[in-house]
Each structure stands twice: as structure tokens, then as C-alpha cells.
Amino acid sequence: MRNRRRITRRRFLRAAAQGTAAGTCAWIAPSIVPASALGRGGTIAPSNRITMGLIGCGGHGTGWNLDRMFQNPVQ
């Protein structure tokens, strides 16, 4: 015999509400994202930008790294 899992009205309504909320968020989200995040309007998209950070480079690495950072603009 198969053990069937019964769905209660409460469980059905919860699943339906969650599905509706997820669908609504997926439909609305693209209209909330600013155009600059997509690289439109002459801005550089975050996926095409390099973010660089220096941790513990000390005196020897600071000069070399700063020179390289200012040659090509990075964030």
C-alpha cells in the first residue's frame, strides 16, 4: 500500500500564498533595479568593474600597488 500524504486546507493556502508572493517578487524586481546597475546610461556595470583592496601590504607593497592602481582606474 502507498502511504499518501494528505494536504490540509491550511497547508494548501500557505503554499499558495508563498507561491503568489514569490511570483510577485520575481515580476516586480526588474522594475526596482536601477539602470546604472545594469550598465545603462553610460555607466559601467558592476560586473565589468574591478574592486581592489590591500590588506597588510606594508611599506614595500604600498608604492608598487598604488602606482598600479592609479594607472588603470579601479574602485
Query: At a CB cut-off of 8 Å and minimum separation 6, what does 61 contact?
Result: 54
| Position 16 pLDDT exceeds 70 | yes
Mean pLDDT value across residues 67-71: 69
- Per-residue pLDDT tens digits for 24-43: 777 666 666 676 676 777 77
For the record, the C-alpha cell of 20 comes out as 503568489
Query: At a CB cut-off of 8 Å and minimum separation 6, what does 47 contact?
Result: 39
State the average pLDDT for the chain: 73
Mean pLDDT value across residues 48-75: 68
The pLDDT value given to residue 40 = 74
The pLDDT value given to residue 41 = 75
